[in-house]
Amino acid sequence: MAATVISGKDLAKKVKDNLKNDVEALKAKGIETCLVVIIVGDDPASRVYVNNKKKACEEVGIKSIEYALGADTSEQELLTLIDKLNKDNSVNGILVQLPLPKQISEDKVIMAINPQKDVDAFHPINVGKIMTGNPDFMPCTPAGVIKLIEETGIDIAGKECVVVGRSNIVGKPQAMLLLAKNGTVTICHSRTKDLEDVIRRADILVAAVGRPEMIKGSAIKPGAVVIDVGTNRTESKKLVGDVEFSSACEVASYITPVPGGVGPMTIAMLMENTVKAAKIQAGL
């Protein structure tokens, strides 16, 4: 049995095409949707992500503004800029590209962004709303994962869902979103005993641990849906996920590729959050 590959690129295009109509409808009401992206320093991976976000804004019709700050920018300078953008009514979404240089506290920066403009959904107020099942914004990667699972036509309700990874950005919010869809959720991590046995229980497996090809096909339940959030570079510079794609394909029913799976969906969901922010701020 060969798994069906779920194309994040194709699904992201659908999401963005739908958002174009929303952006046009807002323009007709005199509202130009605007996302500000701040990048500090010259991390090459961050630059790629920021460029991809700008390209997606162009595709959807969202105005995008970039602030590229030097690696020696002080924490206070960044906080002052965020304060200015919080007060600017023409700005709907503020995104600070992580990681930040060591002189700047990521926690302080996340706390400084107005929760209504926090399109990454990292602010504790937005995290709390996710926990209580009443979110304004869904965190981008976990929300993209849910859409990819739903694209298979498989109902999450009642399924054994295993999330490998417990980061604040993916693992923890992912568990909450699966729970909100009535999945039975287990979170695993580096200290989980008999990790392979836990993974093998999964009807739906979300791998977000950041270790190249750590999960082999032998650890996957036959017929499972496998969503691979990992993006890792091998020594030969090849981009691979947390799941060994070739062996997993032999066992899974559906699987996402790396690249071209979760990545495009993360950016599509950022666009969705930015449009939602514009609507919330306009009282729509």
Known binding-site positions:
165-167, 231
From residue 34, alpha-carbon distances to 55, 62, 128, 213 in Å are 14, 6, 25, 38
Give the single-character DSSP code of 259.
S
Q: How far apart are CA 18 and CA 160, in angstroms?
A: 31
- Chain-centre distance of CA 141, in angstroms? 2
Catalytic residue among 16, 22, 97, 118: 97
The string over 267-281, giving b where at least 16 C-beta atoms fall within 10 Å of a residue's C-beta and e elsewhere, is bbbbbbbbbbbbbeb
Is 53 part of the annotated catalytic residue set? yes
Rounded CA gap, 246 and 41, in Å?
A: 37
Catalytic residue status for 76: no
Q: Alpha-carbon distance 28 to 25, whole Å?
A: 5
Binding-site entries for NADP(+): 165-167, 231
- Partners of 232 in the β-ladder: 240
| Token output for 209 | 């641990």
Q: Is 43 a catalytic residue?
A: no
Catalytic annotation, pick one of 22, 118, 120, 228: 120
The residues annotated with a catalytic role in the active site are 53, 97, 120
